[in-house]
Amino acid sequence: MFLGVVSMGLNGIIDSFVFFPDKQLIGTPNDLEMDYRNLWITVEKEKIIHAWWVPAPDPGAVVLFCHGNAGNISHRLDNLAGLYRLGLSVLIFDYRGYGKSRGSASEEALYADARAACARAGELARQAAVPLVVFGRSLGGAAAVGLVEEPGISGMILESTFTNLADMAKVQYHLPWTGSWLAGRFNSLDRIKNARTPLLFIHGNQDYIVPFELGKRLFQAAPEPKEFIAIEGAGHNDTIETAGQAYYEKLAQFINSLKMVES
């Protein structure tokens, strides 16, 4: 029992270094002239998370967007607008503790919230008879990789994401001794091996928050079909600005190559 209490305490400390939620929404898709609908998604019969459904007219796909570790969905309006301009419908959701979503953030909750949001996005994709694409950015990449065995996903985009928490701790906190007890946390490196859909990786080669090398290692562990796009000169938060229109051209090329799969 004592060890269990200690483990829970350590996990709570670790989560406090990973999640930086903001409860205040700073805008809505209407601010960028996108119609949207608030959705409330039930997770595990008791937790409720908040999402925005932004439907495009005559969409080419539905994108489930898994955002990074700070802020909330309202801080991703530019991402929403870029995908919407490509003719894509987007479901973006907040993890527990972020924005209007209830509860507290944790690794276990992150994966459960992503699964519930994916199920809802799958329903919307089937209604529109279009492919479902999962897009995970930074920590959202871990949430996305946690979905690789979920049914009905046509493809996955992973941007500026990492291998596991141990590797990130070595980079961010210079703690070489963390490998034995953090490697299992947010372990995308093992999960990616079970991917069953086409994968597109995007990473800035000057990313010092999630180093380029971690993105490459994750890519190398993934099965085919896969593609890695290195954005020359980009850091962690300026991939779109650095790549310009070529960024969206690549997204469109990848998404247009996907076919709807049965769930």
Tell me the pLDDT tens digit for each residue of 234-246.
Answer: 999 999 999 999 9
Does pLDDT of 181 surpass 90? no
- Identify the weakest region by mean pLDDT among 35-44, 176-185, 222-231: 176-185
The band of 263, judged by pLDDT with boundaries at 50, 70 and 90, is low
| 156 or 47: which leads in pLDDT | 156
Does pLDDT of 176 surpass 70? no
| 249 or 179: which leads in pLDDT | 249
Distance CA 135, CA 83 (A): 11
Distance CA 259, CA 65 (A): 19
pLDDT score of 169: 84
The answer to whether the beta carbons of residues 99 and 77 sit under 8 Å apart is no
pLDDT score of 177: 56
Break the chain into its structural domains and give their ranges.
Answer: 2-256
The band of 3, judged by pLDDT with boundaries at 50, 70 and 90, is very low
Does pLDDT of 64 surpass 60? yes
50 is catalytic: no
Structure tokens at 259: 């076919």
236 is catalytic: yes
pLDDT score of 36: 98
| 240 or 1: which leads in pLDDT | 240
Q: Which of 32, 29, 75, 82 is nearest to 53 (CA)?
A: 29
The band of 4, judged by pLDDT with boundaries at 50, 70 and 90, is very low
Highest CATH level, class, for 2-256: alpha beta
pLDDT score of 9: 41
**Mean pLDDT value across residues 159-184:** 79
Distance CA 29, CA 98 (A): 17
Choosing from 94, 113, 167, 207, which is the catalytic residue? 207
**Mean pLDDT value across residues 177-190:** 79
What integer best gives the mean pLDDT of the chain?
A: 92
Tell me the pLDDT tens digit for each residue of 116-163.
Answer: 999 999 999 999 999 999 999 999 999 999 999 999 999 999 999 999
- Identify the weakest region by mean pLDDT among 49-58, 190-199, 254-263: 254-263
Choosing from 138, 154, 160, 188, which is the catalytic residue? 138
31 is catalytic: no
**Mean pLDDT value across residues 51-80:** 97
The band of 170, judged by pLDDT with boundaries at 50, 70 and 90, is confident
